[in-house]
A and B are shown apart, each in its own frame.
Chain A
Amino acid sequence: DGGITQSPKYLFRKEGQNVTLSCEQNLNHDAMYWYRQDPGQGLRLIYYSQIVNDFQKGDIAEGYSVSREKKESFPLTVTSAQKNPTAFYLCASSIERGDTQYFGPGTRLTVL
């Protein structure tokens, strides 16, 4: 079965800690994305990657970092610089940037 997996499903972080959210896809898609979803707001783009070893900031990249060393993987690190990290994080992929995006199941991050 092709798809996108995210882990963990739930993540708890203490203030001052960095945490890494995993995103893997076996759809052979070139483009991958990270979004943040908060109640009462539309999805907001954090980072995107069009190809391996390349990524670009989205609208709310401050306090986040990413890497794209493999086509299948696009991990997101939430650093201690992110002031309000509690949210639902969604990873998506598309054949190419600009094509229909398909989403993973999400990771809910809570800061304690």
Chain B
Amino acid sequence: EDQVTQSPEALRLQEGESSSLNCSYTVSGLRGLFWYRQDPGKGPEFLFTLYSAGEEKEKERLKATLTKKESFLHITAPKPEDSATYLCAVQARGYQKVTFGIGTKLQVIP
């Protein structure tokens, strides 16, 4: 069974304090790993799709990386508006179900 574990469950950062969120996964052949941002009471907003180990993608202060066992979402010099829950999800090859993690709730304090 595919599994996604995100850590930490919650993270509190000072504005400008860079850090990383972790997504560990087990899947029988990775087709894709997805990162989403979710604000309270809203639907998840798509950030990145990663397909193979070594791949990296960036968007503003966010950078996602992928290894064979985990993905990191690096946040550089975060701002209060980066506060949200970040969801990770994986999809196995041939079996197109997407398995979601519970998320990491990030709070950035001014």
Question: What residues make up the interface of A, taking CB atoms closer than 8 Å to B?
Answer: 4, 6, 40-43, 45, 58, 88, 90, 92, 97-98, 100-106, 108
Contact = CB atoms under 8 A, between A and B. Distances in A.
A105 B96 CA distance: 23
A103 B102 contact: no
Given A42-B4, A98-B31, A98-B91, A104 B43 contact: yes
A100 to B, nearest CB: 5
A100 B34 contact: yes
Given A100-B46, A104-B43, A108-B41, A42 B99 contact: yes
A58 B41 CA distance: 23
A43 B87 CA distance: 10
Interface of B is mostly: strand
Given A43-B100, A100-B49, A101-B46, 10 more contacts: A42-B99, A42-B102, A43-B87, A45-B98, A90-B44, A92-B43, A98-B91, A102-B46, A103-B45, A104-B43
Interface of B: 4, 31-32, 34, 36, 41-46, 49, 87, 89, 91, 96-103
B102 A41 contact: yes
Contacts, number: 47
A103 B43 contact: yes
26 contacts: A4-B43, A6-B43, A40-B102, A41-B102, A42-B4, A42-B89, A42-B99, A42-B100, A43-B44, A43-B100, A45-B97, A88-B41, A97-B96, A98-B31, A100-B34, A100-B46, A101-B34, A101-B46, A103-B36, A103-B44, A104-B43, A105-B42, A105-B43, A106-B41, A106-B42, A108-B41
